[in-house]
């Protein structure tokens, strides 16, 4: 990526360019000046991961904005070369340079490298704080980002914040998308919101009534690392290759925690950030256990290890697993179209989440594009509580 010179209205001159390893300390200072030591994204919180991201051009594109040898802006793009996906995250602007559309300018440069001109991505996605100004959401919309869901209480910097889920599709993002998702009835309104935005076409809806699970909860504990000398990611991959893994697709995340039961018939893999309690399940070996019981057991184990938020990606073509997630109080919250590449087709996925802290929607700055998703989530949240009361 070639450097780009930029002159602001007040005459200050900037350079937008790729970040380099020698920028590491100045980049970290930018985030520390803004957030103190409370920023939870691993590529920022862990200097080793910062270094890796700055020196891995096939997996990251880190763009910085420089003014007189000072880093005043930063945006990170992570790349999944197999599924041709990109994620934009970690946007930060020094306080004396805000209001100049620098994030917009940096992201536009990133898109030109990744999404167009034979770039490696067909689609870029982002989780965006709903506490930022509505102008920022407007700028993302100008770049082509579309709201497709909401993540309540997903991350904590100074307090728990709700994020919106956005995608920026490239010209061929949906070219080989598998049509006709098969969805559980509680998902249909959210899918209609998505279809209104993207014109994906109809879905097949199934109403399913699951019987109560009679199996007791399974006690899951952290695995002993010494039992897995090749690392837990190698264990997850072995189970995937053997066809024993559920929820194994989650782009750009690797597990750093594995929970296991006493007889080693259940293994649950997570990317877990202790700083804010954010957990993502990236694989589950189920054995012969009831799925609802397993999901409840996973949630219980995560709560014991101080998780505050737990999310999974579920197939958009499996209404049974969607219903089982619902029964275990994992609520549908966002739609990820054409996410996974499988045998030449791109498959849709659905985000489902479970929060272990009270929902807090104070201070949100919602747009007309993301507000319907939060209203739908709140409706589903109340519907699930009502089901619990009726079944009590």
Nearest to 33 by CA among 43, 42, 22, 44: 44
Contact in structure between 270 and 232 (CB atoms under 8 Å): no
DSSP β-bridge partners for residue 151:
163
- List C-alpha distances in Å: 144 to 123, 141, 147, 171: 11, 5, 10, 11
- To the nearest 10 degrees (0 to 180), the angle between helices 47-54 and 24-35 is 130
Strand 204-206 with 182-184, pairing: parallel
Kindly give the confidence (pLDDT) of every residue in the chain, 392 residues in length, as a single tens digit, with 9 standing for 90 and above: 889 999 999 999 999 999 999 999 999 999 999 988 777 788 998 999 999 999 999 999 999 999 999 999 999 999 999 999 999 999 999 999 999 999 999 999 999 999 988 899 999 999 998 777 888 899 999 999 999 999 987 776 566 788 899 999 999 999 999 999 999 999 999 999 999 999 999 999 999 989 888 889 999 999 988 889 999 999 999 999 999 999 999 999 999 999 999 999 999 999 999 888 899 999 999 988 999 999 999 999 999 999 999 999 999 999 999 999 999 999 999 999 999 999 999 999 999 999 998 887 877 888 899 999 999 999 999 999 999 888 77
CA 3/CA 23 separation, integer angstroms:
15
Alpha-helical segments (H) within 126-201: 134-143, 188-198
Nearest to 332 by CA among 204, 185, 126: 185
**DSSP 3-state of 233:** helix
Which DSSP string corresponds to 289-343?
S-HHHHHHHHHHHHHHTT-SEEEEEEETT-HHHHHHHHHTT-EEEEEEEEEEEET
Contact in structure between 26 and 71 (CB atoms under 8 Å): yes
| pTM of the complete model | 0.94
- To the nearest 10 degrees (0 to 180), the angle between helices 371-391 and 188-198 is 170
Burial 314-329 (b: 16+ CB within 10 A, else e): bbbbbbebbbbbbbbb
Neighbours of 245 (CB within 10 A): 20
**DSSP 3-state of 50:** helix
Angle at 367 between CA 362 and CA 369, to 5 degrees: 125
CA 106/CA 88 separation, integer angstroms:
11
Strand 278-285 with 267-273, pairing: antiparallel
């Amino acid at each position: 990526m070639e450097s780009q010179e930029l002159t602001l209205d007040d005459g200050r001159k900037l350079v937008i360019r790729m970040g380099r390893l020698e920028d590491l300390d100045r980049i970290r200072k930018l985030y520390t000046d803004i957030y103190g030591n409370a920023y939870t994204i691993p590529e920022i919180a862990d200097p080793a991961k910062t270094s890796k991201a700055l020196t891995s051009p096939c997996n990251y594109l880190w763009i910085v904005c420089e003014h007189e040898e000072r880093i005043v802006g930063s945006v990170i793009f992570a790349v999944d070369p197999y599924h041709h996906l990109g994620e934009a995250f970690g946007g930060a602007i020094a306080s004396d340079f805000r209001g100049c559309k620098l994030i917009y300018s940096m992201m536009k440069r990133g898109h030109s490298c990744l999404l167009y001109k034979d770039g490696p991505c067909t689609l870029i996605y982002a989780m965006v704080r709903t506490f930022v100004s509505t102008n920022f959401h407007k700028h993302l919309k100008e770049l082509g980002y579309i709201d497709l869901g909401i993540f309540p209480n997903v991350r904590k910097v100074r307090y728990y914040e709700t994020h919106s889920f956005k995608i920026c599709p490239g010209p061929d993002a949906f070219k080989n998308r598998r049509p006709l998702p098969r969805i559980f009835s509680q998902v249909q309104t959210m899918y209609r919101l998505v279809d209104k935005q993207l014109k994906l076409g109809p879905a097949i809806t199934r109403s399913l009534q699951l019987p109560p699970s009679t199996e007791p909860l399974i006690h899951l504990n952290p695995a002993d690392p010494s039992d897995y000398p090749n690392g837990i990611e190698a264990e997850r991959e072995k189970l995937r290759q053997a066809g024993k893994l559920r929820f194994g697709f989650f782009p750009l995340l690797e597990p750093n925690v594995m929970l296991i039961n006493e007889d080693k018939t259940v293994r649950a893999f997570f990317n877990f950030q202790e700083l804010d309690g954010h957990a993502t399940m990236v694989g589950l070996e189920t054995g012969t256990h009831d799925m609802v019981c397993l999901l409840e057991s996973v949630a219980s184990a995560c709560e014991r290890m101080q998780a505050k938020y737990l999310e999974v990606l579920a197939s958009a073509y499996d209404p049974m697993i969607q219903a089982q997630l619902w029964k275990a109080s994992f609520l549908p919250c966002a739609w990820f179209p054409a996410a996974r590449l499988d045998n030449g087709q791109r498959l849709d996925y659905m985000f489902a989440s479970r929060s272990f802290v009270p929902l807090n929607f104070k201070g949100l700055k919602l747009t007309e594009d993301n507000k319907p998703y939060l209203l739908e989530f709140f409706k589903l949240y109340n519907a699930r509580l009502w089901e619990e009361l009726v079944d009590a």
